[in-house]
Amino acid sequence: MPMTSLQSLDLKEKRVLVRVDFNVPLDKSGNITDDTRIRQALPTIKYLIKQGAKVILMSHLGRPKGSKDESSSLSPCADRLGELLERDVKLAPDCIGKATQTLVMAMEPGDVVLLENLRFHKEEESPDDEFASQLAELGEIYVNDAFATAHRKHTSTYLLPSLFQDKAAGGFLMEKEINHLTPLVLQPKRPFYAILGGAKIESKLGVLNALLSKVDGLFIGGGMAFTFIKASGIPIGNSLCDDHLLDEARRIMQTCEEKAIKLWLPKDIMIGRGFTDEAEFKTVPTKDGLPDGWQGMDIGEETVKEWSEALKSAATVFWNGPMGIFEFEEFAKGTQGIAETLSGLDADTIVGGGDSVAAVNQLELSKNFTHISTGGGAALEFIEHGHLPGIDILS
């Protein structure tokens, strides 16, 4: 069943309850350091305003653990959204309750109200019918434009839309994500390569297995590469490793061999003795192994060169996860090198979430990619399963 489209609904003078993802990074003073997620919601919000709707936005921010926490208030988001829309955006005192209801019922067409953090209530992450009913009272139409949370069965993404029957739709950002990720599930242009990084193999085991039936080549970097390197019989020093998954790594490598899927592991590795920019570090060939007391921090220059050459033949590339400990400048070069390579390819290039997106944005390369997904975990689960609960409920 296709997801209900926002454009199919009569929005004029209706109270439209919109789930957005304003989970933006804040500095210690509470200032937004990257407003990308707010900007990505603008097409849907502007369309609703133009249609004469009363726009009621709801989001989570941080992990306040079910109680009010001023450091997780959505106040900075309301201010920033107001600047971007060039209109007043009121912040409700809560996401439910009499004062919030009074504010919402007084809205005029074109008004925008942002409800306070959904996660100030534990019932958001632990689905609760009563909490869903109280939220539902605020709106006449429900819209989900928060793809990054669509893999969670939370109250605002799963229970709430079910109360709106045929008046629950996906927003433009949700549609965009589905349109770009669906070909990866169904029929990618070939050769189709996937690049996976990040800390551990365990969190990406599902998508790894799903990709084995889809990809022509697999590049594995970041901390998760060391489980495969150790499974190949090469010493990894003090590097990260999912020891309980060594047999699983061997099975994946064997499957790649049987299916003629080219598997690239790092040719060389930058290793270090600590987690600071001043730490002692050097680059070693992977085949020689890593000495005791040293830890793999990033893929090396030779790996970036080899992978960049191989990627030139790609028609489609999906990338999720950094190639090294991206937080430290000295160990960010592998991630940056891959980002620069992908930005210059004549191929469909899709980046899914986290530090991979941060690298692309930091290098100001986002315009050179086909699609930058707003949800790392959601994108991985969509590729693995072909659907998500928060999208299914809108169908």
- Give the CA dihedral 82, 88, 92, 93, nearest 10 degrees: 90
- Cα 333 to Cα 270: distance, rounded to the nearest angstrom: 10
> How big, in percent rounded to 5, are the helix, strand and coil portions of the chain?
40, 15, 40
Concatenating the DSSP letter of every residue in 50-109 gives HTT-EEEEE---S--TTS--GGG-SHHHHHHHHHHHTS-EEEPSSSSSHHHHHHHHT--T
Q: Which residues of 127-137 are buried (b: 16+ CB within 10 A; e: fewer)?
A: bbeebbebbbe
34's CB contacts (< 8 A; 6+ apart) are 24, 25, 361
158's CB contacts (< 8 A; 6+ apart) are 127, 152, 389, 390, 393
Active site residues: 37, 200, 354, 377
- Single-letter residue type at 179: N
Can you give the C-alpha Rg of the chain in angstroms?
A: 23
Task: Report how far apart, in Å, the C-alpha atoms of 367 and of each of 25, 344, 372 are.
Answer: 21, 11, 9
57 in the Ramachandran plot: left (φ > 0), alpha (ψ -120 to 50) or beta? beta
Tell me if 4 sits within 8 A of 395, measured CB to CB: yes
- Cα 197 to Cα 354: distance, rounded to the nearest angstrom: 11
DSSP 348: E
Residue 312: helix, strand or coil by DSSP?
Answer: coil
- Cα 175 to Cα 177: distance, rounded to the nearest angstrom: 5
Chain centre distance of CA 122: 23
